[in-house]
Amino acid sequence: LAKDLGEPDAAQTPDPGLAARVVNAMRDAGILISASGPAAATLKIRPPLPFSERNADFLLETLDGVLAHETRG
């Protein structure tokens, strides 16, 4: 099930600009992800084959921080 990043309004309007900022901030932190989907607002995570629990923790902690920073309002 794919879910676009976007405004938490009734229409849940996709926000490709937010997705691009998240992708760029994650890259700056050393994690490569991309934005895809019809609105380019769905994050696509492509882990390398050796992906440990420690790698998963790093990914989730970094993504949590990036999303908190990018969605402050």
Would you call 40 helix, strand, or coil by DSSP? coil
Q: How far apart are CA 5 and CA 33, in angstroms?
A: 14
Tell me the per-residue pLDDT of 30-60, one tens digit each, with 9 for 90 and over: 999 999 999 999 999 876 667 889 988 999 9
Q: What size, in residues, is the chain?
A: 73
Q: What percent of the chain has pLDDT over 90?
A: 58
Provide the whole-model pTM.
0.83
Q: Which residue has the higher pLDDT, 66 or 5?
A: 66
β-strand partners of 34? 44
How high is the pLDDT of residue 48?
A: 66
Assess contact for 20 and 36: CB atoms under 8 A.
Answer: no
Would you call 14 helix, strand, or coil by DSSP? strand
Does the CA dihedral 42-11-21-51 come out positive or negative? Answer: negative
Q: What percent of the chain has pLDDT over 70?
A: 86
